[in-house]
Each structure stands twice: as structure tokens, then as C-alpha cells.
Structure 1
Amino acid sequence: MTDKIYDIVIIGGGPGGIGCAIEASSHKIGEILLIEKTDNHSNTIRKFYKDNKRVDKDYKGQVATLQGNVEFFDGTKETTLDYFDDLLDSEKIDSSFNTEVEKIVRVEELLEVHTSNGIVRTKNAAITIGKMGKPNKPSYKIPPSIKAQVNFNLDKCSSNEKVLVVGGGNSAAEYAYDLADQNNNVTMVYRKAEFSRLNEINEEILTKYHGEEKLRLRMSTDVESLENDAGKVKVNYNDGFSVLYDRVIYAIGGTTPVDFLKSCGVEVDENSKPIFDEHHETTAKCVYVAGDIALKSGGSIAIALNHGYHIVNNIIRKRGQIFSHTDIVAKLEDPK
């Protein structure tokens, strides 16, 4: 355990975590620590965004006015990462990469953040991790011989492949039309007759691409099993048909890391989402959430950055209340 007591420990190095760190530094709230389980910040952008991919401030129609000290603009994967590098380089922020956080425990007036590298103490903590703990996987077995051709994200995808995307949510839609834009032959299969979870932008793009034959929508159909057929993925559907694909991508949802949230003292609702107030403070005192884990539909960098602004302002507001109370007590004890 380090002897240093931080004013805020931020768990997660994505846009929400970066927003918290920059706002905390700009407002000079004290000692700041950013913890990230990978070897660098913005891992999702680094890993899943193709080179030169556009990164929009207003993601999929989620228009947001930036409220804090980060001026974020439309750009590319590369310009966005460079910008975040510059922000973090210019501020006084401690960082700990390749570090897993196990739990947060309140000990009197401080929080103990238990990590793979030891325990750090802090007055406040912000959980800014993604909402997907682990992706949901199908109930049927995926043959080991074709596991390299079965994905749960866009990692390792290329172009000129025949690809099946399984799922009916926003992630599935975004995978499907992004792959179509990369000159792949894409089919998106969904077990229901209509989409019920898509935002308007994604549904509009899917419908447009389907009408233009840029991809195929296969509705009211489910996958029963996968087989290896001479190196191809043979997909057996519940309507009796079987089709060969180069690659299958599952986007059938995932789980909010409920166990981790509970280990931090954070209560979740009936949908396993963290419960928090308008300042993003959870049911665990001085523990906040920001970024995708605090969003109904993820992806908006601008909204995640704004979360950091609200969190830091609430910390400052609460400090003001403490100082005001202290001043009142002092005046009562010494009327002079």
C-alpha cells in the first residue's frame, strides 16, 4: 500500500476516464491517479478502430455540447489518439497501466482501491470502464478448429470475406455496415421479425444498405450450430438451410460487470445497470461512474467527456459544503 492519498482514482483509460482526469487536473483538485488494465489509454479505439477510421464528436446522432475543458472535434483514429496523448502529457496525472482493479472498499473516510499491484487510498473514485464485462456466447459449441474465424468484435477482420453477423442490437448493426463498407459480403441474421433495440440512425443505415444490396438482412432466423467444412464455417440455420462463411461475428450482447460493481459497493437496477444520481455519484459514497457504463447506448466520446466534467464539479461542490460547514463551526466557537 502506498502512503499517498489521492483525491481521485480513475478506473479506466477511455474517454470517460480521460475526461475525469483532465477536469480534475484543470480544477487542481489534488492528487490524481488513472488506472488502466491494458498498456495504454483508449484501448477500444486502438484495438477496434481501423486505421484512418472517422471518429465523430456527435456519434450516431448523439449530439452533445462539450461542457468542460476538453475541446474535442471530429477526426480520425490517429488524430484522436494524438490529441488524448497531448492532453495527458500536459497535465499532472499519475498513471498505472497493465493494472487490474479488483474492488473498492470504504475504510472510514477513505476508499481503498485494491489492484493487482497493491492497494491505493483515495477520497473519490470514478469507474469509467466499458459496459461489457464479457460478451455473451451462443449455447452451442464452437468447434476449436474454426475458433480463429469466429469473433465477438471486429478484431482480425479484413476485407473481401463472406461474413455473417449474428445479433439484432446496435453493436451488430454497426459491425454489419462497417464490414460492408470494407468490401465484405455481409449477412446479418436476427432471430426476431423486427428490430426492437436499434437507435434510429443504425436502423436507417441498415435499411438503406439492405435496399442497396450492400448487405443482406436475414430476419426471423436463428443459428442452431456451427461446423468446420473444409476450412470454412458452416452455419446451420433453424429453417433447415446451411451456408458457408469465411467468418462469423457474434454481437449478441454482454453483461455489465455486475460482480465488479457490487464489489465496489455500487447497487444496480433490475437491468443490471449501476444506479447513480444526476452528478454520476453511485449508491456508494464518493464512487462515480462515467463513460459507456453510464450510458444507455455507448460510443459517444463527447458525452463521456461531459461525465468527467459533472463528476469533478460535484467533488468541488461537496468540498465547498464541507468548507462552509467548517467555517460555520469556527465562527460559532470564536464569535470574533
Structure 2
Amino acid sequence: MDHIYELAIVGAGPAGIATAVESYLQGIRDIVLLEKDENHNSTIRKYYKDNKRVDVEWKGQKVELDGNIYFIDGTKETTLDFFDEILSKHSVELQTHVEVTGIEKKDGYFEVHMAGKSIKAKYVVVTIGRMGKPNKPSYKIPPAIRKKVNYTTDECGSGEKILVVGGGDSAVEYAVDLSANNDVAICYRRETFRRANPTNQRDIANAIAHNEVRPILGVNIDGLEATEDGKIKVLFNEIEPEVFDRVIYAIGGTTPSAFLASSGIQEADGKPVHDEHYETNIPGLFVAGDITQESGGSIALGLNHGYAIACRINNLC
């Protein structure tokens, strides 16, 4: 507790790693990167299917990279390798399996609280991604079926009747991939998958046309019930209920508002308030990555956030 890091970064995704590396390149050496999961980029590891394309331009966002990290189009695997490589080339301390519970401003430094311990840092950057807190349905999930209601495909096997809920890229990709070994339906409250990128729109249209995925579109879900044999009865609003072996919700993530509020970071319109350098209302405390965007953001944007923050901290040092 006597040691004061120059910079502590909460979250080891693209924005967090970029902040660390860009700060290192600007001469800041005492940096710690704090990650609650077992490795960096947990969102990519958990929510991206194997060999999924990872593009610089995301959902049509054209972003010119500002900093020193040269990121190019690739796949899930090459992207993870890329971040492995740039982390290994720079002296950044990565601590995993540590969940930050709050940040407290002290006289001349911050105290970053974790379960069972705290660290001190002169500057702190919060880069917690929205998918660290996936959106859940508003209705309650009966305890008897909770293990069969998931937010990723990790628990899926084969030969199951599965309902995927959502209309974005993750939902579409889950449905198409799972249809190879399962009976899959996809439920979305709208009539089209316009939120998905063009490649995924084509893939889901092809899967539906070949009866590989059954669409349940323009339909809302009122709730779930457990059947006597442990299956999931889905209560639709507009159509009759149907029983499934498993339900997967892919309905996005949400801003960690409780964490931000406990750390004194102000919010407006569901996003943390910050200036052009991504500095919050608390001097020396920054935010970066997709929590600064209304509906997530690209890796390229996160890299630019890291560069802007590094420049700001370097000017303050």
C-alpha cells in the first residue's frame, strides 16, 4: 500500500492495453493493468466465435488511428495474438483475477479498491466494457432453469433445441453457428436483422432460407417457466408458448453505472461524463472504450482513446 503507481488501468481490453502501451511509449513506466478475468480481452475471448472477423471499421465507423499501435483487420485469433505481442514488448504489469470494486480520490493519489486489497495510483483509467455486464431480461428466471439460460454459447452441446434471443451480430452468429448441430430458432422483437453487419445479415438470411434456423420475428417474450422435466417454456406475447432445451440471450451489454457512481464519476444519457481527453469530472480519473459510446464502439476507437489519454497524462506529469 505504500507504493504509488504512476498509472492504474481498470480493464485489459483494447482501450486498456492501448492506454498502457501508449503511456509507456511516452515515458510512463510504473503502470499496472487490472483485469477481473483470467486474461486480457475477455470480451473477445467469450463473445467472439472462433475465426470471427475483427475489423478496424466496425458497423460502418471509419476511424483513422491516431497513435502508435498499428491495428489491422484480422480474426479473433490474430487479434488476441496481436495484443499478446504488444503487451510482451512493453513493461506493463498485468494482474488478473482481480475485480475492482471502487476508486477513491485521496490527497494527491487514488486508492483503487479490490477484494481483499487496495493499490495506490497517481492516475486511473476505467476501461470496463459493456459486455462485462451483459443485458439480462426484465422478467425473472426461475431457479430450476437458470443453468440452461445463458449469455454465451459456452454451455451448449449438440442435439439441443435452442432459442437465441436478440437481433445483433452476436445473436445472429450464435444462431448460425449452433444450427450445425442443434435445432435452432432466433427470436427478435423486430422484423429484420438490420442491426447486424452485412455479412451476418447474409448468413442469417441464407440459414433461414435453407431451414437451418427458424425465425421468430416481430415477437416479444413475456417470461420463462420451468417444465416438469426441466426444460424451458418460453411465453411469447404474440404467439403460443414453446418449449426449448436452452435459451441464449444476446441482447448487448450495459454501462456499469453502480460502479461509476460509487467512484464519483458523473453520468449523462447512460454514459460517463468526460472531456475531449476522456478525463471525467474527477481530475486524474479517465474513462475509455465502449462505455463512452451509446451502443459500444470499435477496437480502433478504443485505441484512439488510449492514445488521447496517454498524451493528456504525459502533459500533466
Query: With structure 2 as the length reference, what TM-score do the two structures score?
Result: 0.86
Change (3 A) 1:204 1:35: closer
Verify: 1:49 aligned to 2:72, yes or no: no
Residue aligned with 1:123, SS: strand
1:75-94 alignment, distance < 5 Å: 75-94=74-93
Residue aligned with 1:9, SS: strand
Letter in 1 for 2:170: Y
1:30-109 alignment, distance < 5 Å: 30-109=29-108
Verify: 1:163 aligned to 2:169, yes or no: no
Q: C-alpha distance in 2, partners of 1:141/1:260?
A: 23
Kept in 2: contact 1:164–1:189 (CA 8 A): no
Letter in 2 for 1:119: S
Letter in 2 for 1:272: G
Pick from 175, 182, 189 the counterpart of residue 177 of structure 2. 182
1:253-264 alignment, distance < 5 Å: 254-264=253-263
The alpha-carbon deviation at position 24 of structure 1 amounts to 0.8
Task: Name the Cα RMSD after superposition.
Answer: 2.7
The alpha-carbon deviation at position 25 of structure 1 amounts to 0.8
Change (3 A) 1:139 1:32: closer
Q: Which residue of 1 aligns with 2:221?
A: 222
Change (3 A) 1:245 1:274: same
Letter in 2 for 1:213: I
Pick from 201, 209, 212 the counterpart of residue 204 of structure 2. 209
The alpha-carbon deviation at position 226 of structure 1 amounts to 2.6
The alpha-carbon deviation at position 229 of structure 1 amounts to 6.0
1:263-282 alignment, distance < 5 Å: 263-269=262-268, 271-282=269-280
Q: C-alpha distance in 2, partners of 1:309/1:16?
A: 9
Q: Which residue of 2 aligns with 1:173?
A: 168
Q: C-alpha distance in 1, partners of 2:303/2:280?
A: 18
Pick from 294, 301, 304 the counterpart of residue 303 of structure 1. 301
Bigger shift: residues 71-80 or 232-241: 232-241
Kept in 1: contact 2:57–2:63 (CA 8 A): yes
1:135-146 alignment, distance < 5 Å: 135-146=134-145
1:188-199 alignment, distance < 5 Å: 188-190=187-189, 199=195
Q: C-alpha distance in 2, partners of 1:296/1:139?
A: 20
Kept in 1: contact 2:219–2:239 (CA 8 A): no
Q: C-alpha distance in 2, partners of 1:140/1:279?
A: 39
Letter in 1 for 2:31: I
Verify: 1:287 aligned to 2:282, yes or no: no
Count of residue pairs brought into register by the alignment: 309
**CA offset digits 1:206-248 (Å, max 9, x no partner):** 4883587254142143333333264542212223502232321
Letter in 1 for 2:172: Y
Query: What percent identity do the matched residue pairs reach?
Result: 44
Larger radius of gyration: 1
Q: C-alpha distance in 1, partners of 2:154/2:188?
A: 20
Residue aligned with 2:90, SS: coil
Kept in 2: contact 1:223–1:238 (CA 8 A): yes
Residue aligned with 1:7, SS: strand
The alpha-carbon deviation at position 56 of structure 1 amounts to 1.9
Query: With structure 1 as the length reference, what TM-score do the two structures score?
Result: 0.81
The alpha-carbon deviation at position 48 of structure 1 amounts to 2.4
Letter in 2 for 1:34: L
Change (3 A) 1:248 1:285: same
Unaligned stretches of 5+ in structure 2? none
The alpha-carbon deviation at position 18 of structure 1 amounts to 0.5
Q: Which residue of 1 aligns with 2:23?
A: 24
Unaligned stretches of 5+ in structure 1? 320-336
Residue aligned with 1:91, SS: coil
